[in-house]
A and B are shown apart, each in its own frame.
Chain A
Amino acid sequence: MGIFIPNTTDEQIRMLNDIGYKDFDDLFALIPDEAKFKGNLNIPMGKSEIEVTHTIESIANKNTIFRSIFRGAGAYNHYVPSAVNSISNKEEFLTAYTPYQAEISQGILQSIFEYQTMITELTDMDIANASMYDGASAAAEACAMCKDRKRSTIYVSEAVDKRILEVIKTYSFGRDTTVKVIPETNGITDKDALRKALDDDSSAACFLMQYPNYYGLIEDADTLCKITHDAGAQFIMSVQPLSLGVLKTPGEIGADICVGEGQPLGLGLNFGGPYLGILATTNKNLRKIPGRLIGETVDSAGDRGFVLTLQAREQHIRRDKASSNICSNQALCALKAGLYMATIGPKGLEQVSTLCSSKAHYMAEELSKIGMPLVYEVPFWNEFVTSCPNTDKLLSSLETKGILGGLKLEDGNILWCCTELNTKEDIDTVIAIAKEVF
């Protein structure tokens, strides 16, 4: 107990006496007695490193690690290259604070500047910030960015992950903003409903869609973008970053803001966090972007250097008039994402995106052959929905074989996900088990 405190008890007493205090009670004498906690904390006694390790390892062992995962729905089982954790665990990165003192923080600043650049390359947007908490909170902040005095209503497609929608609604409860959901038909946003809703509402601030959407479907983003822009609102796309290895990018489509869950870029499944909120936008939204931005400048000798910039947008300066309160972000996760993108490079990005797509299409084809056809006739990338004669039975059979099957949706259909980690053999095993079950 207390082992992270270097000074021994004797030294502590000597220091106390040195500065004129009898003991610790004397040091804390200014705290009113009625405010003090008199008892002992009801938590276990401190433990040695070995005991703590054993305790926590035994807790970790209660979790099941599936050898094969076909579940996505917002968290994706992609490969994390060895270099990502090895390098990002360097103590200089791990134990540093936010790079407020630029002169001794160039390493952190440059790594984030490189991350910002890579995200703009990936998405074809003009600028990216230094990160948000996760994809869902990035989506909520993006919606808030679009609010102005004349436009405040947020429109979200029903085909967006419910978890993202939930966070948008929670943020909007805070800001007293209205969120309206545009219904889906056959798994994708109902374009006519969107057009009608936006045409009738001069207060529409933005429309947010997911790409690929919650069901894995690639919606006609070009048309949705046009409908949104025709109504004078901003178009927000929530993306799976690795899909952009092959898919038309938000920048090419004309999105005003691109957000996304950055977890596929070198972060583990981590039981939901820490993840990485990607937020990129166009130059015209520069002053509205929340969170930290790293900018290039020069030092007093004229040499290149990097600083936190445009800080007057932020809470520590603008206080109650700041557009967002974000302070800590997910810098280390952004560093990992940068390492991931640098490791795989442009070729690897296309490769992994192609692998995900190919495996998913193979699996969809094989499942349809055994009576589990695709539910939606819309192009998809690495996630897709099939029907299933007995979803619970199939999923529990897979589980007994160490396979985490797709996610059971409310209607009983299954949302499957394939990544580069699912081999043909794994997929064939799922098919074989499914054949046995039915």
Chain B
Amino acid sequence: MKLIFEKSIPGRGQDIFPICDVPICLPKAPHRNTKPRLPEISENEMGRHYTSLAKRAHGVNDGFYPLGSCTMKHNPKINEAMASLPGFVNIHPLQPPHTVVGANEIITELENFLCEITGMDAITFQPAAGAQGEFTGLLLIKAYLQDKGEFERNEILVPDSAHGTNPASATMAGFKSITIKSDAFGMVDLDDLKSHLGPKTAGLMLTNPNTVGLFDTHIMDITRLVHEAGGLCYYDGANLNAVMGIVRPADIGFDVIHMNLHKTFSTPHGGGGPGSGPCGCKSFLSPYLPGLTCKDGKTYTRAEKSIGNLTGFYGNFLVNIKAFTYILTLGSKGVPSVAKNAVLNANYMQEKLKDIYPVAFDTTCMHEFVISLQAIHNEKNISALDVAKALLDHGMHPPTMYFPLIVDEALMIEPTETESRETLDDAIEVFRDIYKMIIESPEIVAASPQTTPVLRLDEVKAAREPKLKYNFGE
């Protein structure tokens, strides 16, 4: 389809702004000489343009979206309604505190809820996304250790199954990232962990359930060992959906956590963001928390040894309202029931698929499971990518591909709790049909997708000859 610039006709446009009711006066400073080639387009044409774009996108509302590790659950409509109330949208972040009592009440209440769910003592909503939450948590660890004079503790241990953000965040926080091996069951290899713990250990970052969808059964040993070595334990909350209300990270030895409200707490992903990545900690780390908070409705205060600020104001406030709405709706019984059904749905699919799609680790999984196409790849030359693309022709968003890195030809499936049994049965049917096709006519699978707006795209060309903006034909 055409780009919006190709639909632009000089002189067209929309009337938004009034005639100036004061004398025209421009700054006595150099003005721009170039004319920005923004689109000139009527509202009708623009609306149709974006409707066409929407038809070429796939959201949770378009169909099953079992994208492992991303928790693509239903995004309740009430969340959106509450986050667009004028009393939240039309308030300035620098209004006097007594005029934003409601906004600060939400922040305080949500902090209480999330502390209860995680077992932590304090939470900052400064981080705009999970990765920034990780960075924040690591800075808390760094500030705390430096405060104690333990400057030599500069290593963060990260399992080889971890999300890429973990080692990247460790580097950004000035730590050296040390990779810990997984054992034959996909869990932290305790011997490898022990061999890397020592006087340089600042901490361990762990996702639990881990990225192969398994709850690490040695978790109490792991956190104890790290603490005995003088390090802190960081909980990557990416997979909190599997255990909320069942296990509280603080109770099992974690000192710091970030949550992805856009995963666990049902706020929409928006095609990549905005998310919200609040960071929680135990009380001994709270003096280092970033940002300003207003708990009494009167004054903003900053923690005494605050690491500073991660975002300009109070993080992605409207996203936090959506999460608040969600927790208020679910309540104390609803929260654990989310985890239970997320785990049930994943096991249901795993059980119905594992006879033909070997699972990486054949045991009860948590909210997601990983299948490996390695054998099929060897026999039929059909890769995880091919299967993913074949799913596109069935109106289904594929699972996460080639992650975690410790499983070859991986597809990671996370159905979430908001899918019905029929949806799961349909998806299982699709997976089985594709398997049949792999056996009978693999060339069709290899040539998929065929029904999508575009066919497979040349990513090599995109990277070798980067074209990152429209060429107006100069």
User: CB distance A91 to B59 under 8 Å?
Assistant: yes
Query: In the assembled complex, how far is the CB of residue B86 from the closest CB belonging to chain A, in whole angstroms?
Result: 6
Residues 325-353 of chain B, each 1 if its beta carbon lies under 8 Å from chain A, else 0: 10111111111111011011001100110
Given the complex of chains A and B, what is the CA–CA distance between A62 and B170 in angstroms? 41
Selected from B50, B128, B335, the residue in CB contact (under 8 A) with A339 is: B50
User: CB distance B167 to A105 under 8 Å?
Assistant: no
Apart from A4-B266, A325-B165, 9 more pairs, CB < 8 Å = A1-B333, A73-B94, A79-B16, A83-B43, A271-B100, A273-B313, A321-B171, A359-B20, A361-B22
Let me know if A170 is at the binding interface, CB within 8 A.
yes
Determine the chain A residues whose CB is within 8 A of the CB of B90 once the complex forms: 65, 268-269
Ranked 7 nearest A-B pairs via Cβ: A272-B313, A46-B331, A60-B87, A332-B270, A331-B272, A170-B308, A62-B102
User: CB distance A170 to B469 under 8 Å?
Assistant: no
Selected from B51, B60, B131, the residue in CB contact (under 8 A) with A328 is: B131
Q: A35-B219, A79-B16 are in contact. Are A43 and B332 (CB under 8 A)?
A: yes
Let me know if B78 is at the binding interface, CB within 8 A.
yes
Selected from A2, A108, A251, A261, the residue in CB contact (under 8 A) with B333 is: A2
CB-based nearest B residue for A114: B4
Given the complex of chains A and B, what is the CA–CA distance between A49 and B452 in angstroms? 37
User: CB distance A127 to B469 under 8 Å?
Assistant: yes
Interface residues on A, range: 35 or more
* Contacts A/B (CB < 8 Å), 23 sampled: A4-B76, A7-B420, A52-B325, A59-B87, A59-B106, A60-B85, A60-B88, A91-B62, A94-B268, A104-B397, A105-B57, A161-B312, A170-B309, A173-B174, A247-B29, A299-B456, A305-B454, A318-B168, A327-B165, A333-B270, A339-B46, A348-B17, A358-B22
Indicate the member of A24, A69, A333 with the most B CB atoms within 10 Å.
A24
Interface residues on B, range: 35 or more
Given the complex of chains A and B, what is the CA–CA distance between A49 and B311 in angstroms? 32
User: CB distance B470 to A103 under 8 Å?
Assistant: no
Selected from B87, B327, B462, the residue in CB contact (under 8 A) with A307 is: B462
Let me know if A385 is at the binding interface, CB within 8 A.
no
Given the complex of chains A and B, what is the CA–CA distance between A327 and B96 in angstroms? 34
Query: In the assembled complex, how far is the CB of residue B97 from the closest CB belonging to chain A, in whole angstroms?
Result: 11
Selected from A46, A71, A246, the residue in CB contact (under 8 A) with B329 is: A46
Residues 225-238 of chain B, each 1 if its beta carbon lies under 8 Å from chain A, else 0: 00000000000000
Q: A57-B85, A63-B91, A133-B129 are in contact. Are A27 and B457 (CB under 8 A)?
A: no
Residues 95-136 of chain B, each 1 if its beta carbon lies under 8 Å from chain A, else 0: 110011111011000001100110100000000111110110
Let me know if A222 is at the binding interface, CB within 8 A.
yes
Given the complex of chains A and B, what is the CA–CA distance between A404 and B94 in angstroms? 10
Determine the chain B residues whose CB is within 8 A of the CB of A92 once the complex forms: 54-55, 57-59, 61-62
User: CB distance A108 to B271 under 8 Å?
Assistant: yes
User: CB distance B16 to A344 under 8 Å?
Assistant: yes
Let me know if B201 is at the binding interface, CB within 8 A.
no
Let me know if B299 is at the binding interface, CB within 8 A.
no
Residues 291-317 of chain A, each 1 if its beta carbon lies under 8 Å from chain B, else 0: 011111111110101110111101111
Determine the chain A residues whose CB is within 8 A of the CB of B78 once the complex forms: 49, 52-53
Let me know if B376 is at the binding interface, CB within 8 A.
no
User: CB distance B325 to A56 under 8 Å?
Assistant: yes
Given the complex of chains A and B, what is the CA–CA distance between A94 and B469 in angstroms? 23
Given the complex of chains A and B, what is the CA–CA distance between A11 and B406 in angstroms? 35
Task: Report the stretch among A12-20, A148-156, A195-203 that lies at the interface.
Answer: A12-20
Let me know if B459 is at the binding interface, CB within 8 A.
yes
Query: In the assembled complex, how far is the CB of residue A178 from the closest CB belonging to chain B, in whole angstroms?
Result: 13
**A-B interface pairs (CB < 8 A), number:** 690
User: CB distance B99 to A63 under 8 Å?
Assistant: yes
Selected from A66, A81, A136, A310, the residue in CB contact (under 8 A) with B312 is: A136
User: CB distance A351 to B87 under 8 Å?
Assistant: no
Let me know if A22 is at the binding interface, CB within 8 A.
no
Determine the chain A residues whose CB is within 8 A of the CB of B20 once the complex forms: 354-355, 358-359
Determine the chain B residues whose CB is within 8 A of the CB of A346 once the complex forms: 35-38, 40
CB-based nearest A residue for B339: A28
Let me know if A286 is at the binding interface, CB within 8 A.
yes
Let me know if A410 is at the binding interface, CB within 8 A.
no
Determine the chain B residues whose CB is within 8 A of the CB of A46 once the complex forms: 328-334
Selected from B91, B128, B247, B336, the residue in CB contact (under 8 A) with A133 is: B128
Determine the chain A residues whose CB is within 8 A of the CB of B262 once the complex forms: 328
Within 8 A of B (CB), among A40-71: 40-47, 49, 52-53, 55-57, 59-66, 69, 71
Residues 277-298 of chain A, each 1 if its beta carbon lies under 8 Å from chain B, else 0: 0000000001000001111111
Query: In the assembled complex, how far is the CB of residue A259 from the closest CB belonging to chain B, in whole angstroms?
Result: 12
Determine the chain B residues whose CB is within 8 A of the CB of A274 once the complex forms: 128, 273-274, 316-319
Residues 100-121 of chain A, each 1 if its beta carbon lies under 8 Å from chain B, else 0: 1111111110111110111011
Selected from B164, B173, B219, B455, the residue in CB contact (under 8 A) with A319 is: B164
Indicate the member of B29, B88, B113, B321 with the most A CB atoms within 10 Å.
B29
User: CB distance B16 to A348 under 8 Å?
Assistant: yes
Indicate the member of B243, B248, B270, B401 with the most A CB atoms within 10 Å.
B270
Let me know if B290 is at the binding interface, CB within 8 A.
yes
User: CB distance B34 to A325 under 8 Å?
Assistant: no
User: CB distance B43 to A343 under 8 Å?
Assistant: yes
Q: A96-B59, A134-B128, A344-B14 are in contact. Are A362 and B22 (CB under 8 A)?
A: yes
Residues 194-230 of chain A, each 1 if its beta carbon lies under 8 Å from chain B, else 0: 0000000000000000000000001000100000000
Given the complex of chains A and B, what is the CA–CA distance between A62 and B297 in angstroms? 11
Determine the chain A residues whose CB is within 8 A of the CB of B170 once the complex forms: 320
Selected from A107, A330, A359, A381, the residue in CB contact (under 8 A) with B57 is: A107
User: CB distance B351 to A53 under 8 Å?
Assistant: no
Determine the chain A residues whose CB is within 8 A of the CB of B113 once the complex forms: 43
Within 8 A of A (CB), among B136-189: 138-139, 142-143, 158, 163-165, 167-174, 177
Q: A63-B103, A320-B177 are in contact. Are A246 and B26 (CB under 8 A)?
A: yes
Within 8 A of B (CB), among A161-194: 161, 163-164, 166-167, 169-171, 173-176
Q: A41-B335, A103-B456, A423-B21 are in contact. Are A247 and B61 (CB under 8 A)?
A: no
Given the complex of chains A and B, what is the CA–CA distance between A297 and B467 in angstroms? 8
Determine the chain A residues whose CB is within 8 A of the CB of B466 once the complex forms: 286, 293, 295, 309-310
User: CB distance A170 to B310 under 8 Å?
Assistant: yes
Let me know if A352 is at the binding interface, CB within 8 A.
yes
Given the complex of chains A and B, what is the CA–CA distance between A59 and B133 in angstroms? 27
Query: In the assembled complex, how far is the CB of residue A270 from the closest CB belonging to chain B, in whole angstroms?
Result: 5
CB-based nearest B residue for A19: B351
User: CB distance A248 to B92 under 8 Å?
Assistant: no
Given the complex of chains A and B, what is the CA–CA distance between A345 and B13 in angstroms? 6
Selected from A2, A247, A272, the residue in CB contact (under 8 A) with B93 is: A272
Q: A101-B397, A174-B142 are in contact. Are A342 and B4 (CB under 8 A)?
A: yes
Within 8 A of B (CB), among A387-438: 399, 404, 407, 420, 423-424, 427
Given the complex of chains A and B, what is the CA–CA distance between A53 and B83 in angstroms? 11
Given the complex of chains A and B, what is the CA–CA distance between A45 and B34 in angstroms? 59
User: CB distance A134 to B311 under 8 Å?
Assistant: yes
Given the complex of chains A and B, what is the CA–CA distance between A3 and B455 in angstroms? 38
Given the complex of chains A and B, what is the CA–CA distance between A85 and B5 in angstroms? 21
Let me know if B357 is at the binding interface, CB within 8 A.
no
Selected from B96, B139, B461, the residue in CB contact (under 8 A) with A173 is: B139
Query: In the assembled complex, how far is the CB of residue A276 from the closest CB belonging to chain B, in whole angstroms?
Result: 9
User: CB distance B344 to A60 under 8 Å?
Assistant: no
Indicate the member of A108, A118, A273, A297 with the most B CB atoms within 10 Å.
A273
Let me know if A236 is at the binding interface, CB within 8 A.
no
User: CB distance A103 to B452 under 8 Å?
Assistant: yes
